[in-house]
């Protein structure tokens, strides 16, 4: 809560506002800005999309690019890449880059980070999110938020809540039990509020228990405002509000949308008229305005000052007060940080993150690293090797100052001492879709119908595909060293779209299979924000590298890792299942949802209902519980060196916490980094609980032969579960097992403790 003096000033300033001015402040007056009240010096709040960087400038009233020549910015690794570092410090640095660039570009809110759970491997926006595990999401999101907000800008955590699919995202109703909600889908939001003190939160498009999230009093009122004592700003997703009365009576503070009819928004003229007619109390509007002013004070947009007797100096942000001087008004807070963008420090930070985000999945016969001094002729195959990804993905698109793709990164690493040949390998047709005002609401049926064309499944496309494949296979037979770079792109990892399956697009499986037949030593690099099915060729591949969209320096980082300048240390943030029918949302439920009957649709204004029947068994919790083999487990990631783990030691110094430590030794010949993962579970596992859950991790940097201790502190929070009968968190007395390992499936040390 703010100091009482600030709250008093906020109340005074609200009293100076007319109803019309208040309404002006609580809805968009531009596609990315709210209304200002010049008379009292209150500026607009200026926002920008920002999961991977500050988005380029749009016109105020349409989605055309405004033509600025200075909106090229630092392209940051996606959240899925940041999380793959398992490095809290790098997460903080990434947030700092976003915050400084947002301020440097004159923004007050950067619409990031997204902290939704990767419930399925199909969600088009998974690349924007951190993980399938709520603890890992929380631990990485908090430093990102703190980094952003260190620059006097507001992070905007999104999308609150249970927003886990793009299929009918505006019209899908989510039904979920309370325990699963609390243990899986809310922890990252709660950490953002309680630990990071986040300044703004975005409501989600979907419905929750029959009510749209942006109008949902259970989520926004009972949980967010009352239970978590959140007094920050709540912003709707763009077009997420559907009803004036419901929005007015919910805690949502600002309505944003995708259309330019700003005065027709639900919380614009319709709300103004409803208040005038006595249908809605003006106090409802006042509370929203107070949240806005509180936010402005927190990010130092304004200070609120009291008018002095005889003071005729114009000190408001914008002149305009020609009538009676107000008792209080807003002035610019000149202590606010200015920010910066496109700096070498930012580029260094994103390179550091990109390096640690890349995951070595498989490395038989120590195929990697390649020796640059022995590499004289190299063949690089794959559309993703030469593709740029910064300009796609929906609201994640930005104008990058530059982007080093894998092909360029490999060439930079090798210099002029190697002949590098490139073959496209597979055909990716251009979507060639015109940008439209309401692209967010393009139906998924339309997207799905276009997908066949994107695959090149037409006579001309098949002809091109065949020619490219034959060229690549012929070349691969002539080279000793071949690197294939494939995976997904932002035609599939994209806002507004969920993939239909786990298959690699563009007939990549057939290509990879043929390439491995003629060159079994080929190195495979998969670039994607979601798991893919590798079963067609995984057994034949000797080395597989995984990377998400790693930002403007991602290609350079990849080149450094492939040729041994950097030792890989990334680990998976999601399980890679063998097939779609292994995914718990498919096993237990009817993803993407059950089509509603007409009366249901009319009652809740939804098209689908998706019931989360898998409960808490999301991701590795399911595969671990039912002992289902997967392609690669959660937390997996290899190194060019090896690490040995000693015996775990556990102490209970105060009866409140357990202090855990374990020695880890680099037993190889190269320096490397190892993320030590700690899991907790009941010794005698009850049917309703997972076998084990991530409750700690520690990344160690070790020279050859060096030993360091990974240290953890476990409080009651690590052992608790939500009891639906009593509606509270509980720790059940008994025996618990602590597991420490290199992944959820590679456990190196186990011990038991007793909680009384």
What does the alpha-carbon distance between residue 618 and residue 632 come to, in Å, rounded to a whole number?
16
Question: How confident is the model over 401-416, as a mean pLDDT?
Answer: 96
CB distance 340 to 101 below 8 Å: yes
What pLDDT, on a 0 to 100 scale, did the predictor assign at position 311?
52
CB distance 129 to 162 below 8 Å: no
Question: How confident is the model over 561-590, as a mean pLDDT?
Answer: 97
pLDDT tens per residue, range 624-661: 999 999 999 999 999 999 999 999 999 998 878 999 99
pLDDT at residue 672 greater than cutoff 80: yes
Q: Where is pLDDT greater, at 447 or 506?
A: 506
CATH topology of domain 4-306: TIM Barrel (3.20.20)
CATH superfamily for 358-562 is Glycoside hydrolase family 3 C-terminal domain (3.40.50.1700)
Query: Per residue, what are the HEC states of 613-650?
Result: CCCCCCCHHHHHHCCCCCCECCCCCECCCCEEECCCEE
pLDDT confidence bin for 12, thresholds 50/70/90: very high
pLDDT confidence bin for 431, thresholds 50/70/90: low
Residue 232 to residues 204, 220, 291: CA-CA distances in angstroms? Answer: 17, 11, 6
| CATH tag for 640-755 (out of 3.40.228.10, 2.140.10.30, 2.60.40.10, 1.10.40.30) | 2.60.40.10
Query: Per residue, what are the HEC states of 208-272?
Result: ECCEEHHHCHHHHHHHHHHHCCCCCEEECCCCCCCCHHHHHCCCCCEECCCCCCHHHCCCCHHHH
pLDDT confidence bin for 597, thresholds 50/70/90: confident
What pLDDT, on a 0 to 100 scale, did the predictor assign at position 148?
99
Query: Domain limits of the chain?
Result: 4-306, 358-562, 640-755
Burial class, 258, CB count within 10 angstroms (exposed 0-12 / middle 13-18 / buried 19+): middle
Query: Per residue, what are the HEC states of 546-563?
Result: EECCCCCCHHHHHHHHHC
The whole-model pTM stands at: 0.95
pLDDT at residue 435 greater than cutoff 70: no
What pLDDT, on a 0 to 100 scale, did the predictor assign at position 442?
47
3-state secondary structure of 79: helix
Furthest C-alpha separation in the chain: 88
pLDDT confidence bin for 54, thresholds 50/70/90: very high
pLDDT tens per residue, range 60-97: 999 999 888 888 999 999 999 999 999 999 999 999 99
pLDDT at residue 747 greater than cutoff 80: yes
What does the alpha-carbon distance between residue 381 and residue 557 come to, in Å, rounded to a whole number?
18
Helices (H), 455-562: 459-476, 508-518, 554-562
What pLDDT, on a 0 to 100 scale, did the predictor assign at position 602?
77
pLDDT at residue 439 greater than cutoff 60: no
Question: How confident is the model over 230-251, as a mean pLDDT?
Answer: 98
pLDDT confidence bin for 450, thresholds 50/70/90: very low
Residues 6+ apart with CB under 8 A from 414: 372, 375, 378, 420, 559, 563
Specify whether 152 is catalytic. Answer: no
What does the alpha-carbon distance between residue 751 and residue 506 come to, in Å, rounded to a whole number?
48
pLDDT tens per residue, range 100-133: 999 999 999 999 999 999 999 999 999 999 999 9
- Catalytic position from the list 152, 237, 533, 624: 237
What's the whole-number average pLDDT of the chain? 94
pLDDT tens per residue, range 300-330: 999 999 988 655 444 555 444 445 789 999 9
What pLDDT, on a 0 to 100 scale, did the predictor assign at position 235?
99
Residue 676 to residues 52, 292, 662, 696: CA-CA distances in angstroms? Answer: 27, 42, 9, 8
How many C-alpha atoms does 468 have within 13 Å on its Cβ side?
24
Residues 6+ apart with CB under 8 A from 243: 212, 215, 266
What pLDDT, on a 0 to 100 scale, did the predictor assign at position 605?
85
What pLDDT, on a 0 to 100 scale, did the predictor assign at position 319?
44
pLDDT tens per residue, range 703-743: 999 999 999 999 999 999 999 999 999 999 999 999 999 99
pLDDT confidence bin for 453, thresholds 50/70/90: very low
pLDDT tens per residue, range 358-382: 999 999 999 999 999 999 999 999 9
């Amino acid at each position: 809560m703010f100091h009482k003096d600030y709250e008093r000033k906020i109340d005074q300033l609200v009293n100076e506002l007319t109803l019309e001015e208040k309404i002006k402040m609580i809805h968009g007056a531009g596609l990315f800005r709210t209304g200002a009240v010049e008379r009292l010096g209150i500026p607009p709040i200026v926002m920008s999309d920002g999961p991977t960087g500050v988005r380029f400038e749009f016109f105020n009233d349409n989605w055309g690019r405004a033509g600025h020549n200075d909106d090229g910015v630092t392209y940051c690794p996606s959240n899925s890449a940041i999380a793959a570092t398992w490095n809290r410090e790098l997460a903080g640095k990434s947030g700092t880059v976003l915050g400084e660039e947002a301020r440097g570009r004159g923004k007050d809110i950067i619409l990031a980070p997204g902290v939704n759970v990767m419930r399925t491997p199909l969600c088009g926006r998974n690349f924007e999110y951190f993980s399938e595990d709520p603890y890992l999401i929380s631990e990485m999101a908090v430093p990102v938020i703190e980094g952003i907000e260190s620059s006097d800008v507001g992070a905007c955590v999104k999308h609150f809540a249970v927003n886990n699919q793009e299929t009918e995202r505006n019209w899908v109703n989510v039904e979920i039990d309370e325990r699963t909600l609390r243990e899986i889908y809310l922890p990252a939001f709660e950490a953002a509020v309680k630990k990071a003190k986040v300044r703004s939160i975005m409501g989600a498009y979907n419905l929750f228990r029959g009510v749209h999230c942006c109008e949902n009093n259970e989520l926004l009122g009972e949980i967010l405002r009352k239970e978590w004592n959140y007094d920050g700003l709540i912003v709707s997703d763009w077009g997420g509000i559907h009803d004036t009365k419901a929005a007015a009576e919910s805690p949502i503070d600002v309505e944003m949308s995708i259309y330019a009819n700003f005065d027709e928004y639900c919380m614009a003229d319709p709300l103004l008229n409803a208040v005038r007619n006595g249908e809605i109390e003006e106090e409802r509007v006042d509370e929203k305005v107070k949240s806005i002013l509180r936010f402005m004070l927190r990010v130092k947009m304004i200070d609120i000052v009291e008018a002095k007797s005889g003071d005729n100096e114009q000190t408001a942000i914008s002149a305009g007060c020609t009538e009676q001087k107000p008792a209080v008004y807003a002035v610019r807070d000149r202590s606010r940080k200015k920010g910066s963008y496109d700096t070498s420090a930012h580029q260094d930070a994103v390179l550091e993150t990109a390096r640690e985000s890349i995951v070595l999945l498989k490395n038989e016969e120590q195929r990697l690293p390649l020796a640059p001094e022995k590499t004289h002729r190299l063949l690089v195959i794959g559309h993703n090797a030469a593709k740029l990804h910064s300009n796609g993905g929906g609201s994640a698109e930005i104008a990058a100052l530059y982007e080093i793709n894998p092909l360029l990164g490999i060439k930079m690493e090798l210099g002029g001492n190697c002949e590098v040949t490139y073959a496209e390998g597979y055909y990716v047709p251009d979507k060639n879709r015109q940008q439209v005002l309401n692209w967010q609401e393009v139906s998924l049926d339309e997207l799905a119908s276009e997908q066949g064309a994107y695959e090149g499944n037409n006579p001309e496309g098949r002809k091109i595909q065949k020619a490219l494949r034959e060229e690549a296979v012929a070349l691969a037979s002539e080279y000793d060293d071949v690197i294939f770079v494939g995976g997904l792109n932002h035609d599939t990892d994209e806002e507004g779209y969920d993939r239909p399956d786990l298959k690699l697009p563009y007939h990549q499986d057939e290509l990879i299979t043929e390439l491995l037949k003629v060159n079994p030593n080929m190195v495979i690099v998969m670039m994607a924000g979601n798991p893919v099915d590798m079963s067609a060729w995984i057994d034949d591949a000797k080395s597989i590298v995984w990377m998400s969209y790693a930002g403007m320096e991602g290609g350079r980082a990849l080149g450094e890792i492939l040729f041994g300048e950097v030792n890989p240390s990334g680990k998976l943030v999601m399980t890679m299942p063998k097939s779609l029918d292994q995914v718990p949302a498919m096993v237990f439920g009817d993803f993407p949802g059950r089509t509603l009957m007409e009366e249901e649709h009319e009652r809740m204004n939804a098209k689908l209902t998706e019931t989360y029947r898998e409960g808490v068994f999301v991701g590795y919790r399911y595969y671990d519980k039912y002992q289902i083999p997967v392609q690669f487990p959660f937390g997996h990631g290899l190194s060019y060196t090896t690490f040995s783990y000693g015996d775990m030691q556990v102490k209970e110094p105060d009866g409140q916490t357990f202090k855990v430590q374990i020695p880890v030794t680099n037993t190889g010949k190269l320096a490397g980094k190892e993320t030590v993962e700690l899991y907790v579970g009941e010794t005698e596992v009850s049917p309703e609980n997972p076998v084990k859950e991530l409750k700690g991790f520690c990344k160690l940097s070790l020279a050859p032969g060096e030993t360091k201790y990974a240290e953890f502190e476990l409080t009651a929070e690590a052992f608790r579960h939500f009891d639906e009968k009593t509606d509270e968190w509980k720790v059940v007395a008994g025996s618990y097992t602590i597991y420490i390992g290199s992944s959820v499936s590679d456990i190196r040390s186990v011990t038991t403790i007793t909680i009384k």
